[in-house]
Amino acid sequence: MVIPAIRVDAPLMPLGLLPDRSLASPPEADTNLAGWYAAGTAPGASGTAVVAGHVDNESGPAVFYNLGALKKADTVEMARADGRTAVFTIDAIEVYDRQRFPSAKVYGSSGRAELRLITCGGGFSTEDDAYLGNVVVYAHLTGVRVTPRPAGDWKAPARDRGRDRGPRAP
């Protein structure tokens, strides 16, 4: 995942749900790691893809520390398993109180390819040692491009791999 406006370039790990049905989060110790809800929509497919990351930990800022600084029209790039990159354009950045988090609005599908980026925010309670809310970025798919492979990382298409086709004509 790349978010140029806030200089994020981070890998994603799959996330699931906790026993209370809330979204799990990536390990707190890895400050440059975000997680995608793997049982949900893949980024770039029709529906709402959800990515979560920490704002900080005890050692300092984490991957989504500057999420609230994003603006409408900034972009988010998501590398896909099919070798393409889904490009999303930000529509809105909202902050919600954790007691009144609008799950249907955040996680619900709009019938088009969308992305939600979620982190903690909305102030910090020293009494509870917890953030009071969440920052949610809303974005929609605006492009898909082929992701170039790094030099030396060429692989034959799956249908040709492992097949001995004999000598080839010049």
SS3 63: coil
In this prediction the pTM is: 0.84
Of 12-26, 126-140, 147-161, the range with the lowest mean pLDDT is: 147-161
CA 49 to CA 38: how far, in whole Å?
9
The domain limits of the chain are: 2-146
- Give residue 22's pLDDT: 87
Of residues 150 and 41, more confidently modeled: 41
- Homologous superfamily assigned to 2-146: Sortase (2.40.260.10)
The answer to whether residue 65 scores a pLDDT higher than 50 is: yes
With 0-12 CB in 10 A as exposed, 13-18 as middle and 19+ as buried, what is 159?
A: exposed
Whether residue 97 contacts residue 132, with contact meaning beta carbons closer than 8 Å, is answered with yes
Residue 88 near residue 75, CB atoms below 8 Å: yes
pLDDT of 165 > 50? The answer is no
- Please say if the pLDDT value at position 156 is more than 70: no
The whole-number pLDDT of residue 148 equals: 66
9-to-31, 61, 64 alpha-carbon distances in Å: 12, 14, 11
